[in-house]
Amino acid sequence: MFFKPISPTTCVVRVEGGYDTHDQACILPTVKAPNCSCKGKNFTVVPGKPVILITIKGRYDLHLPLYVCQTCQQQWTPDLKVLQLRQAFAKQLEHPTKCGGRSGPVNGDALQCSFLEFSYASYEEDQLCCGAPFICPACTPEMLAVSADGNRKLYRFRRSGSSDGSAFFNGLFVAEDSAVAAFVDKIQRSLKNTQGRGTCGDSQWTAARETSRRASKLDEEGMEVAVCRHGFLLKALNMYRGEIFAYPLYLQKELMPAKAKFFAMDVACKYWPYMEKAASVLPALQELTTMKPFLSVMHA
């Protein structure tokens, strides 16, 4: 017996002797039926042209509905204008507004604000119900591997026009800068740092180092992100000194409860001795040494 994922376009049916699968066509929903010239009201809906629908929950491979009038056999499918009207989410909300006896268009800015507040309320509800965000279902309860790397070109200037108000999800996914800075300072006070770039084989890697200057106006690299082997986002932090070893060490420490067996990194050959050195000085990091380093074939 083995398990494998099936796509939403695959249907499981009961057959003689067990179960079988076959393909099914999923139709784009909530498209209003047309008014036929013969004034017939009996329509059948069959799959039409394949389309791709992108929503906040991801990609859906669907088919446009093809309406067939059973009276005159006339066919109709929604055109681009109808689909553009359907994509206007705020316009769709005006219908229940009118049904509720209210008037006026839906304000896009107010809709965005209310959606963000709703997302935050859902997060608080999950917290009360002991739900855990940013947990990969496929890796629960035992995670095989974690990978950490820095993402370039995510510059954040001092004057970005952002609000000074506190964030709703402060520290939930992106670690608080103050906590990361305190950890980095603690590590660098406890260890004898190696200045400059680190050598990995015959090459010099910007990531293979322990120290880096602090950028004056913008982040040097962007963000350091940790993911599981399924690409599920686990934890991230803002980098202000480039890809120093203390950043993945912080992420590895934060993901310690997951008890991953392997820690993947592009310069694992240089990072792992650094981590073991830090664990020998700081007892709180001793548990990290139970993991095994993993170096990809490209970097090896």
State pLDDT tens for residues 13-70. Answer: 888 888 888 888 888 876 667 777 777 778 888 888 888 877 666 778 888 888 888 8
Q: What's the average model confidence in pLDDT over 233-261?
A: 88
pLDDT-derived band at 287 (thresholds 50, 70, 90) equals very high
Could you tell me the CA-to-CA distances from 62 to 21, 68, 92 in Å, in that order?
18, 18, 20
Q: What's the average model confidence in pLDDT over 231-248?
A: 86
Tell me which residue of 268, 221, 265 sits closest to 242, measured CA to CA. 221
The enclosing H or E element of 228 equals strand 222-228
pLDDT-derived band at 211 (thresholds 50, 70, 90) equals low
In this predicted structure, the answer to whether residue 260 has a pLDDT above a threshold of 60 is: yes
Q: What's the average model confidence in pLDDT over 122-145?
A: 79
Q: Six-digit token pair at 3?
A: 């398990």
